[in-house]
Every structure is written in structure tokens, then in C-alpha cells.
């Protein structure tokens, strides 16, 4: 009888220690599982709040997981409208804070002496009154640089620059550093048994520098 009372007392003591810890661990999970009461959009100027909410991977009134929040952030980034997206909880609501990419007012090229600006602009896909994105500007710069290399300017570099105008508008300038034209000292052919070097040099466009 005495042993039974001792065992019961020990069990009750253990339960008094373990149960509060279990409740404490479970509390954040229960709070996290609460349904979202609303989706608050902040920082937008051109993009409508309902447009932003349309990219959410969840709706108000639903329980939300971290995976759904991550997927929603990625979906908003993929639109190309935003340079930054932050999403967090405020009470029972989810807040979406965005920084919009600027609107392009004008696109110009500077530093081009050897190649015509019209020819260079044909390689630029970003145009006036479109949304600027860094990745697309870098792609345009790479296309211009490739054009220079095809023209013999292998040291040319192209850097996009933004001139801020206010109201989240910018002038986009592609700054060119052409470098010196790369010359060819000599052209030699190897393994030509059927045609002479003179014959082969007559059918290629590349020539030696003078």
C-alpha cells in the first residue's frame, strides 16, 4: 500500500513538470494555425492591391503555412513589378510590403563613338514607358557588348545606369566604354592541302590589320 502511494506521488510530480512544457511547446503551433483574417498591402503606387492579392497562394479566412508565404513572395517577384517583397504577420493578418520597380521615362546610350546609336538601340529590349528590371537591363548590356565584339572591339564594356526623376521614374542610360579596336596581326591556315592560303584568304571576311 505504501509503495503504491509513493509511485502515485512520483507520477503526479512528473506530470506536473512535463505537462506545462508540452502545453508551452504546443502553443506556438496552435497560434500559427489560426486562420488569416486579412491580407494588407503596403508600399504599392502603380500596382493595385487586388492585383497583388491575386498572386497570393492563400486567401483570407484560410490557415497559412510558411511554404505558402514563400511561394507567394516568389510569385510576386516573378511578375517583374517589384524590386523587393516582404511578407509577415501583423496580429491575425498577413502584411505584404512591396518596393515597385521604376517606370522608364527615356532610354539612351552614351560613350559610343564607333557604332551608331540607332544600331545599338536595336539591341535594347527595355523601352520607354515600360517597367525597369535589373536582369533585363543586364541582358540588354550584354547584347550591346556582343555587337561591339563582332565589330572588333573585344575590350568594350557596357554598364546600365539609372538617373532618378522622382515619382519612381528613371532615365535608363547604357554607358559604353569602347576600348581600343582589336587588330589581327596575321592570318595563317593549317592543313589546307587542296586550296592555297591565298585562295582561302580571298573567301573570308576577316583581314589583317594594316
The model scores a pTM over 0.75: no
CATH number of 103-177: 3.10.20.310
- DSSP element (H, E) containing 17: helix 2-32
Query: Would you state the cell numbers that stand for residue 126, as one nine-digit string?
Result: 527595355
Q: Please tell me if the domain spanning 2-100 has the same topology as the one spanning 103-177.
A: yes
**Cα–Cα distance for residue pair 87/196, rounded to 1 Å:** 69
Where are the chain's structural domains?
A: 2-100, 103-177
Find out if CATH 3.10.20.310 is the number for domain 2-100: yes
- Report the pLDDT value the prediction gives residue 199, as an integer from 0 to 100: 77
Does residue 15 surpass a pLDDT of 80?
A: no
Does residue 125 surpass a pLDDT of 60?
A: yes
For residue 152, the 8-state DSSP code is: T
Q: Are strands 157-166 and 93-100 parallel, antiparallel or unpaired?
A: unpaired
Q: Of the candidates 54, 95, 99, which has an alpha carbon nearest to the alpha carbon of residue 81?
A: 99
Sheet of 103-110, strands arranged across: 103-110, 169-177, 157-166
Of 110-124, 152-166, 169-183, which gets the smallest average pLDDT?
169-183
**% of the chain beyond a pLDDT of 90:** 67
Query: Would you state the cell numbers that stand for residue 50, as one nine-digit string?
Result: 487586388
Q: Are 132 and 106 in contact (CB under 8 A)?
A: no
Amino acid at each position: 500500500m505504501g509503495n503504491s502511494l509513493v509511485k502515485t506521488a512520483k507520477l503526479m510530480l512528473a506530470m506536473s513538470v512535463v505537462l506545462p512544457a508540452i502545453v508551452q511547446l504546443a502553443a506556438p503551433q496552435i497560434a500559427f494555425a489560426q486562420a488569416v483574417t486579412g491580407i494588407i498591402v503596403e508600399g504599392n503606387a502603380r500596382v493595385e492591391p487586388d492585383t497583388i492579392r491575386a498572386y497570393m497562394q492563400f486567401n483570407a479566412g484560410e490557415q497559412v503555412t510558411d511554404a505558402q508565404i514563400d511561394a507567394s513572395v516568389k510569385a510576386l517577384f516573378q511578375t517583374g513589378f517589384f524590386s523587393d517583397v516582404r511578407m509577415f504577420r501583423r496580429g491575425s493578418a498577413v502584411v505584404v510590403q512591396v518596393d515597385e520597380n521604376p517606370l522608364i521615362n527615356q532610354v539612351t546610350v552614351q560613350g559610343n563613338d564607333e557604332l551608331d546609336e540607332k544600331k545599338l538601340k536595336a539591341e535594347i529590349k527595355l523601352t520607354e514607358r515600360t517597367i525597369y528590371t535589373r536582369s533585363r537591363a543586364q541582358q540588354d548590356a550584354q547584347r550591346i557588348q556582343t555587337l561591339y565584339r563582332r565589330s572588333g572591339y573585344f575590350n568594350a564594356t557596357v554598364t546600365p545606369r539609372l538617373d532618378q526623376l522622382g515619382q519612381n521614374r528613371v532615365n535608363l542610360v547604357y554607358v559604353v566604354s569602347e576600348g581600343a579596336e582589336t587588330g589581327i596581326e596575321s592570318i595563317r591556315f593549317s592543313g589546307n592541302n587542296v586550296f592555297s592560303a591565298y585562295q582561302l584568304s580571298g573567301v573570308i571576311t576577316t583581314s589583317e590589320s594594316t
